[in-house]
Structure 1
Amino acid sequence: MSFDENTVLQFYNKLPDDSTSSFSELITDFVVENISLFYKGEIIDFISKKLDSTTNEIDDFPYFYTLVVFYRRMRSNTELKKLIDNNEQFYGKKPLFLFTKSSYELSQNTKKSYETALSLAEECIDIINDKENNYDPDYPGFYNHYASCVAAYLEQNFSISNEQKKLAYEYIKKCIKKCNRATYYITLARLELIDNNFEDSNAHILYAIDIENDRARIPDYNDLLLKVEYKKTINELMSKSDQITNILNDNKTNILEYLAFFSGIIAFLISSGNIAVNNPEIAMKLILVMLGALLIGFSAFTLLIQNNNKKILSVIITTIIGIILIIMSNYWLN
């Protein structure tokens, strides 16, 4: 495809104003469809001359936003920053300009930049909901961007209020209800992944891949799919690790119980032997007393080292047997 200035001008002449989502959607589609001309620099040179040769009036905003879409697509943050700085005095109050600044701040990956990005996203929504402004209050792109900012915030483990997180879910579901776009499902999937909702997150990513027309975005979607599988695997391993730890702790407790019991048995046998030799008359009575005391002491030891009440019934039964043996010893010689 070759560059045709008249065709490009005709496209811009037919554009609606930036008060509705059609404006940004048409420009995005234009960039995607003519990406080879952008790579060659022909359209970029044409648009740049348009911006440089004018006083950057509101009517030239479509040229500005076309470069925004291309630089964001190429992740050219340096060029995007220059574009923002050079045009803020002209378009600084327009929602799409604030959206552009917010997107740039997200790319800086610091807590302060994320806070700025989220604040700008909130400002965009406030502007389009102001009845004095001529903007579509249901402009889905701004709501999706807010939800994306919240997702990015949480992905960095920064704290955020439950109200903001809940609002992000409400906004992105509102976007999906209005327009069936792949990027909206990706934003929802990111929020679900943060909440460890792996099944829904995986399903929404696969659906986004299926309906995405811009195939250049598919690698990013596949990366997110791998993150879901990775985090799911890590969670499963952590769960199994906790189970193994619990089993080891239970076994350690059982070993201590056995050691204590058999130590008591050995001591009991030695004492019993001495008693039987020295005092055969009362040997049986003392043996019963010591055996009962051993059982009661063992039960008390079990209660002390147990972290739960799984063996409470056996402890009670053992204690009762010990008491019965002590009581029987009082009547043994009678």
Structure 2
Amino acid sequence: MTDSFSGADMLLKELAGSEFPVSDDIIERLRGIYDHLVGISPDDPDFERYLREDVIEHEMFDRADAIDISDSVLDVSARHKNDPALLPAFFIAFEWFHRCEFDAERRQRYWERFVPLLNVCLGGFSLYQYALSMFYLYGGDERRAEAAARKALDIAPDHIGFLNTYTEQILDRVERELISTGRQMPEDNDEESLNELLTMFDKRPREGWHPIFHVSYGRILACLGRYSEAQSEYSRAVDLENSRYNTWIESGGNTIKASTYVTEMNEIFDARNTCNMLSNMRSLSSVIDDAQSAQRDRARELDDKMDELGRRFDNERIDMLEFIGFFAGIISFVIASIQLGDGLEFPTRALMVLLLMGSLLVAFGSFSALLESGRAVDPREPKRGHLFGIRAGLVTVIALGLVVIVVALLLYLVIR
């Protein structure tokens, strides 16, 4: 064993002699796995990929083996705190239930027996944080699952598998919010996170990507409204998945399990359906927005017309009152002129009539000015031809009346 697993021999002996001992056959299989992992960092994607694809998916262990390993690992874990040698045995037990136990409740019960309990011993390893995030995710605690996935990525920032896991958990939440709220784009903080994830994926060479990485990349694009690019990623994922499946058939079923193929194809089609849903929602939302905008414009137009009709009605009423006042003034002027003529000389009577006419002009102008204060005016049009807030014509009438009164008084004084 190299320095990476300097405690592997001791660990295997302890597993064989623990309170829940594993068989010699399991020990030998584990020994071969440790030999293969010599020199590979636990943060290297090849470390996790080997355990998942070459160990679990090749069915090197069964359910009973996974249970024995998990019980034994938990029993000896206290003596192997922060020991990387404990990690492969733990992950084999964890991943067997992850990939091979299809009863969700049973899988969660098995995980509960050892996954959270090993946090003290293995919490500093990215692979354990990944396993912990899966445990929380399947247990329904999305917040803690997302936090554990982020911690795994922080410990091993170059591990694209952990990046994908963290991305999937962000996307699950964002997609659900977009669909439930009907928004066209994520909230600002989520949009910033998605762009950051997109950048992190772009920094990694695309050659050799697992099909699911293309799916996650496409889901990010779909959430950001780039639907055609997202569909291209899904098509690429389908091609890669079919290629892997064909290789599995040709090799006699030694590269990928059929159940894994079905599961991953379902994920691709689910992502494609979600993309179509988001695209259709955006199109529908655009149509609704256009209809609402047209409705608002029509409502404003009707409001303007109603306001205009109201102003016309009010102004016509004022015009009618002014006409009545003017007509009443003429009648009063005629009657007063006749009455003033009795017993007066012609010049005096003429001056009195002139004085009466000036008073009538002032009274009519003042009456009209009072009514004008209640005249409705279009707020969008400035008041033109107004002096002191009164129409210039009324100011002229009042001024003319005052001039007539003054002239009549002066002439009367001259005649006297």
* Counterpart residue identity of residue 117, structure 1: A
- The residue aligned with 1:230 is 277
Cα offsets for 1:215-252 (capped at 9, x unmatched)? 32111222222222222323333333333222222222
Provide closer, same or farther for how the CA distance between residues 209 and 272 of structure 1 changes in structure 2, counting only shifts above 3 A.
same
- The residue aligned with 1:45 is 64
The question of 1:190 aligning with 2:219 is answered yes
Cα offsets for 1:68-91 (capped at 9, x unmatched)? 233223453332332414655654
Q: What's the TM-score once normalised by structure 2's chain length?
A: 0.54
Cα offsets for 1:89-116 (capped at 9, x unmatched)? 6544332122211222233444641453
Cα offsets for 1:138-185 (capped at 9, x unmatched)? 332233334334435645669958875554233222345363222222
The question of 1:243 aligning with 2:290 is answered yes
Cα offsets for 1:178-221 (capped at 9, x unmatched)? 63222222222333333333333333233223322433211122
- The residue aligned with 1:120 is 151
- The residue aligned with 1:21 is 45
Q: 1:97 aligns with which of 128, 136, 140?
A: 128
Instruction: Provide runs of 4+ in structure 1 moved above 6 Å.
Output: 7-11, 319-323, 326-332
Q: 2:309 aligns with which of 259, 262, 270?
A: 262
Give 3-state SS (helix, strand or coil) of 1:15's partner: helix
The question of 1:84 aligning with 2:111 is answered no
* Counterpart residue identity of residue 261, structure 1: E
Q: Which runs of 5+ in 1 are unaligned?
A: 126-136, 304-314
- The residue aligned with 1:206 is 235
- The residue aligned with 1:307 is none
CA contact (8 A) 1:147 1:172 kept: no
The two structures, once aligned, show a CA RMSD in angstroms of: 4.7
The question of 1:144 aligning with 2:168 is answered no
The question of 1:12 aligning with 2:33 is answered yes
Provide closer, same or farther for how the CA distance between residues 113 and 327 of structure 1 changes in structure 2, counting only shifts above 3 A.
same
- The residue aligned with 1:66 is 92
Identity value in percent? 12
Q: Which of the pair has the greater relative contact order for Cα pairs under 8 Å at 6+ separation?
A: 2
* Counterpart residue identity of residue 151, structure 1: L
The question of 1:106 aligning with 2:137 is answered yes
Give 3-state SS (helix, strand or coil) of 1:252's partner: helix
- The residue aligned with 1:306 is none
Cα offsets for 1:6-45 (capped at 9, x unmatched)? x9779737633452322322332236754xx69xxx6232
Q: What's the TM-score once normalised by structure 1's chain length?
A: 0.64
Looking at structure 1, the residues matched to 123 and 314 of structure 2 have their Cα atoms a distance apart, in angstroms, of: 88
- The residue aligned with 1:130 is none
Looking at structure 2, the residues matched to 195 and 227 of structure 1 have their Cα atoms a distance apart, in angstroms, of: 13
Paired residue total: 291
CA contact (8 A) 1:106 1:117 kept: no
Q: 1:219 aligns with which of 266, 288, 306?
A: 266
CA contact (8 A) 1:144 1:175 kept: no
- The residue aligned with 1:311 is none
* Counterpart residue identity of residue 301, structure 2: N
Provide closer, same or farther for how the CA distance between residues 272 and 50 of structure 1 changes in structure 2, counting only shifts above 3 A.
closer
Q: Which runs of 5+ in 2 are unaligned?
A: 1-24, 178-186, 245-260, 331-364, 401-416
- The residue aligned with 2:404 is none
Provide closer, same or farther for how the CA distance between residues 262 and 140 of structure 1 changes in structure 2, counting only shifts above 3 A.
closer
* Counterpart residue identity of residue 303, structure 2: L
